[in-house]
Amino acid sequence: MTIPMAPEELYRHGLRLLLEKDVPAWMDLWDEDGIMEFPFAPPGWPARLEGRRAIADHMRHYPDHIDLHDFPEVTVHRTTVPETIVVEMRDVGRLVKTGGPFDMTYIAVVTVRDGLMTSYRDYWNPLAVQEPGVDFTGAGR
């Protein structure tokens, strides 16, 4: 019997998978009924994705839009709810379509139950990637 990963361990493992551009393996870290939210999503961009399938449809083309190189800053804060963590992080890379730099700092609130992500609220700044011709969310479209 395998012991499920703790929230911080699961989250850091997920970051490694994203750097490896292994979105299918990242999706394996999700509960079937997981919910991903983007509270600052601009009009026309998804604000809430319900279920692993919807999240997978959204994320499958992520590597085609952003070439992640590193997560140079990751700070995980534990909360009074053991299943929930708050993560401050920065990721860097390049925008595939333009070749321009990608440098994003944001906060995520993540809940993990039985070793799988059940909720992920991604507080990122969409203004940071609104360059002409760049579709940061192109996944799922």
Q: Does domain 7-129 have CATH number 3.40.50.720?
A: no
Q: Where are the beta strands (DSSP E) in the chain?
A: 30-37, 48-50, 66-78, 84-95, 101-113, 116-123
Instruction: Give percent of the chain with pLDDT exceeding 90.
Output: 75
Task: Kindly list the domain boundaries of the chain, sorted by start residue.
Answer: 7-129
* Alpha helix positions (H), 28-133: 52-59, 62-65
Instruction: State the pTM of this model.
Output: 0.88
Cβ contact 109:86 at 8 Å = yes
pLDDT at 14 over 50: yes
Cα–Cα dist 129/111, whole Å: 26
d(CA 28, CA 47): 22
- Name the average pLDDT for the chain: 90
- In angstroms, the Cα distances linking 120 to 41, 81, 130 are 14, 15, 23
Could you report the per-residue pLDDT of 46-89, keeping only the tens digit for each? 999 999 999 999 999 889 989 999 999 999 999 999 999 999 99
Q: How far apart are CA 114 and CA 117, in angstroms?
A: 8
Report the range of poorest mean pLDDT among 47-61, 102-116, 122-136. 122-136
Tokens of 23: 């979105």
